[in-house]
Amino acid sequence: MDVTKNDSMEIRLSDHVVLVRQAVRKWATDLGFSLVDQTKMITAASELARNTLDYGGGGTVRLELVKQGPRNGLRLTFEDQGPGIPDLEKALTDGYTTGRGMGMGLSGSKRLVNEFEIVSRVGEGTRVTITRWK
């Protein structure tokens, strides 16, 4: 897989979640995603950026335009150095929440993208990588 363009953004304030949404919209539009695919990627990015801020204490997102053979895609990697997730299986269950949300963040985001990977270590932080292909 080749990365043809990349950028990183901080997620430290609520306003940064809005900036992430705007950046993902621009990248998805530039890539030629349909409106439905743009919306799916923006929604997943918004949920994960909010999780990074609320549960991870802030972190970063890396945006990458990726190419695999004839396919082009958008890959986002959210990272924090927060408390980590002690039970990933439970955290990926619909309806599970440790906060005030609806419990759709991780599981909902996973359904909205083509590829989803999460790595979390208690006391070290969490990394979530999502990819949507055009």
Residue 98's pLDDT band, with cuts at 50, 70 and 90, is low
Determine the structural domain holding residue 32 and report its residue range.
2-133
Residue 103 belongs to domain with CATH number: 3.30.565.10
| 104 phi, psi to nearest 5 deg | -110, 0
What rounded mean pLDDT belongs to the chain?
A: 91
pLDDT tens track for 25-56 = 999 999 999 999 999 999 999 999 999 999 99
* 52-66 mean pLDDT: 96
Q: Give the C-alpha separation, 88 to 27, whole Å.
A: 29
pTM summary value = 0.92
Question: What pLDDT is attached to residue 93?
Answer: 80
Residue 111's pLDDT band, with cuts at 50, 70 and 90, is very high
* 2-27 mean pLDDT: 94
CA–chain centroid gap for 23, Å, is 12
Residue 96's pLDDT band, with cuts at 50, 70 and 90, is low
Tokens of 17: 């979640």
| Largest Cα span, the chain | 42
- The count of structural domains within the chain is 1
